[in-house]
Amino acid sequence: NAGVMQNPRHLVRRRGQEARLRCSPMKGHSHVYWYRQLPEEGLKFMVYLQKENIIDESGMPKERFSAEFPKEGPSILRIQQVVRGDSAAYFCASSPLGASSTDTQYFGPGTRLTVL
């Protein structure tokens, strides 16, 4: 049973370019979460999605960031016009149910974004 998959594992972009990060949840999981970890910082919640629905985007920056989880295919975190401050590790997690607060979230290996 494959775990949470993320790609690419490493992504280098120049300022002003777009970054697309992909996440495939564990088999049987329909709830996806995105977190960002800045250097020397803890993980920060960004967004919680179910298929075709954004449940909670309270942690998303107001501009340039968007996320989706389409009916088919992986979840996508999109960052437009990247700036150096976007350089971070972006982790995706998934859970099976989502309704219970005790659901364990399983994390993918992360995408390390570097903005030059």
Partner 1 sequence: RKEVEQDPGPFNVPEGATVAFNCTYSNSASQSFFWYRQDCRKEPKLLMSVYSSGNEDGRFTAQLNRASQYISLLIRDSKLSDSATYLCVVNNGNNRLAFGKGNQVVVIP
Q: CA-CA distance, 62 to 79, in Å (whole number)?
A: 11
The answer to whether 57 contacts partner 1 (rule: CB under 8 A) is no
Query: Contact 94/104 with Cβ under 8 angstroms?
Result: no
The answer to whether 58 contacts partner 1 (rule: CB under 8 A) is yes
Q: CA-CA distance, 116 to 103, in Å (whole number)?
A: 37
Q: Which one of residues 34, 48, 65, 69 is an interface residue with partner 1 (CB under 8 A)?
A: 48
The answer to whether 106 contacts partner 1 (rule: CB under 8 A) is yes
Q: Which stretch binds partner 1 (CB under 8 A): 19-27, 66-74, 79-87, 108-116?
A: 108-116
The answer to whether 52 contacts partner 1 (rule: CB under 8 A) is no
Q: CA-CA distance, 85 to 97, in Å (whole number)?
A: 33
